[in-house]
Chain A
Amino acid sequence: MMQMIARHVRGMFGCEIDMNLALPNPDYAYDEKKGQYSSAVILKNLAELCDSRVPKLLAITEVDLFIPMLTFVYGQAQLAGKVAIVSVARLSPEFYGLPPDKDLTVRRIRKEVSHELGHTFGLVHCADKSCLMSLSTEIMQVDLKSESLCESCSIVLEENLKKLLAVGSQRTVADSSNSGPDR
């Protein structure tokens, strides 16, 4: 599955992918009261871990994420920053008591991964509900949006990529080897 996600990211952002980075177990971000993991704490930790030569770091985890203000988040990213995280916990039909559907889950993961990476490339939420960068606060919205960017967001991404290319070569790291334990 990770290979497939890496291919998708490469196709979308046109960058080299390195999947060999080992990340620590996110237990440090576990909140006992909520039974969830603080994405803000993980993001902060990832930012500290991130090598200065790595332009973008994306973490994918199976644990359910939250920020103090919200009951959950599908993922979080530093806007125009380096790090992003996506949780697959709420992306599978099983979470909602439905039978498994691997294709649907993969589509959802691809969308959320590209969405969060889009934030790291400076894209903000788009008002076009079919655009990949539209905000999803419930799973139906994830399903409704497409896997591609609208015209406006494509132009902004293109511009931002050009700026980045001017600064240095691109490398994106994806890793799933050390996502948190099932709880």
Chain B
Amino acid sequence: MKTQWEILVVDDEEIMRESLAAWLREDGYAVDTAISGRIAAEKSKERDYAIYFIDLKMPGGMDGIETMMEIRKIHPEASIIIITAYATVDTAISAMKEGAQEYIVKPCNPKEISILVERIIKVKNLQRENTILRKKLMKQYSFHDIISKNPKMQEIFQLIQEISSLKSTVLIQGESGTGKELIARAIHYSGDRTSKPFICVSCAALAETLLESELFGHEKGAFTGAVSQKKGKFELADGGTIFLDEIGDISPKLQIDLLRVLQEKTFYRVGGAEELSVDVRVIAATNCDLEEAVKSGKFRDDLFYRLNVINIHIPPLRNRREDIPILVRSFIERLSPELGKEIDDITESSLKLLVDHDWAGNVRELENAVERAMVTCKNKVLSDEDFGFLESNGNRRRIWSVPDNLRLDEVEKLVIEATIKRTGGNIKEAAVTLGIDRSTLYDKIKKYGIERE
């Protein structure tokens, strides 16, 4: 099993380089050699070695420490052993500070080097096993392109399987970027309509008249520009599913039309007299609080109840941070071939950076951030510097510090105001975030005179 690991020996002295290489080859490792730091850095661009043995003193511009730093730029987690003829505290500290895993003084006892190599390889084997297990876990936690190990998301996956073959209308709620369309697709493709069309309509993208024509189609001459008859999305989705995204944005008139389709299963093309009947499952989605919209009269309650037969609420990414590592790794795996990049992992510190970040744009924003980092990444592993743009956004989670001279009720008011602002005025979500009942939150809003957005 050893031959799968490659070791690079870097030394300008031939006898030193070749004898160590020969000794390691006898141990079953594939060993490559480099006569200078520059050549070693070049070789490391082509492949990552399990261990780098680098001599500290090398002529020609790059000594051992510089070589190590160059290699670390390409492989931040490379296992590097610095070799020196003389042990000085300064060079040892310097080597370890710059990231050398070990520091050995030549000549050393064969047992010492054998144990050292064995120990590093054991870690490498564990890391490899870890990667394999991670991939297996990713499969375990993925459901129709949605990846999550969050218990609430797992409940949603279960629910999708239970309802996929029903005809009932589904309302998917969740912040922008949480993957509402993926959930809708999962419902469609898990059920018995999978061989029929899945038609997606973004209700927010079109003006009222255009959306009406888009949904129900039009007859020739129905309006200026209607040069021929056109089938609407409902007709195109016959037998399948229509996904109405951003349903909270549709006009009162379209709300009535839609209600009619849901109740009667029939509709008319714009400018048409023929009543058309379709067998379509409706899945609607919104990032607004539709209950609030109903209360404020912006959305018809009868349509809301028709849509909200089965409700799915997707938690925002900040409430399922445990998903960030598997999501990031799945993006890396998917995007690497798409971007033509050989990136296969992310450093632990960068992962922590992403886990700690507030993803206002949820999974979509996380995916975009990973893609952006991959585009500019010059190495095989994404590191902190590739995510520099996140910090510049000033969007990192701020560390909580206790304000001076504030009373407890003033702190409470500030926290409530900030939470409501962050949820975009969504009281239900703000209450969940604050860990209190909605009615308690309403009382406090009233008590402190907090303005809701």
Residues on A facing B (Cβ under 8 Å): 34, 38-41, 43, 66-73, 76-79, 119, 124-125, 135, 137-138
Contacts and interface: CB of A to CB of B under 8 A. Distances in A.
A76 B27 contact: no
B203 interface: no
B57 to A, nearest CB: 13
Contact of A78 (B22, B83, B110): B22
B26 A71 contact: no
Where chain B touches its partner, the secondary structure class is: helix
A130 to B, nearest CB: 17
A68 B25 contact: no
A177 B312 CA distance: 87
B108 A70 contact: yes
A68 B108 contact: no
Interface residues of B, number: 23
B441 interface: no
A40 B109 CA distance: 17
B108 A40 contact: no
B107 A70 contact: yes
Interface stretch (B12-20, B148-156, B242-250, B366-374): B12-20
B111 A137 contact: yes
Contacts of B3: 124
A48 to B, nearest CB: 14
Given A40-B15, A40-B18, A67 B23 contact: yes
A72 B110 CA distance: 7
Contacts of B27: 124-125, 135
Nearest to B110: A137
Interface in B75-128: 83, 106-111, 113-114
B19 A68 contact: yes
Interface in B412-430: none
Given A40-B19, A69-B108, A124-B26, 11 more contacts: A34-B107, A40-B22, A67-B23, A69-B19, A70-B109, A70-B113, A71-B108, A73-B110, A79-B25, A124-B27, A135-B26
B23 A73 contact: yes
Contacts of B83: 69
Contacts of A34: 107
Nearest to A141: B111
6 contacts: A66-B107, A68-B15, A68-B16, A69-B16, A77-B26, A124-B2
B15 A38 contact: yes
A133 to B, nearest CB: 9
Which of the listed residues A41, A43, A69, A138 has the most CB atoms from chain B within 10 Å of its own CB?
A69
Contacts of B111: 137-138
B15 A69 contact: no
Contacts of A41: 15
Interface in B130-186: none
A5 B18 CA distance: 29
B25 A71 contact: no
A66 B19 CA distance: 10
Contacts of B109: 70-71, 137
B107 A124 contact: no
A67 B19 contact: yes
A147 to B, nearest CB: 19
Given A69-B113, A71-B109, A125 B15 contact: no
B445 to A, nearest CB: 68
Contacts of B59: none
B108 A79 contact: no
Interface string B39-60: 0000000000000000000000
B20 A76 contact: no
B358 to A, nearest CB: 49
B80 to A, nearest CB: 16
B252 interface: no
Contacts of B13: 68
B30 to A, nearest CB: 10
A76 B110 contact: no
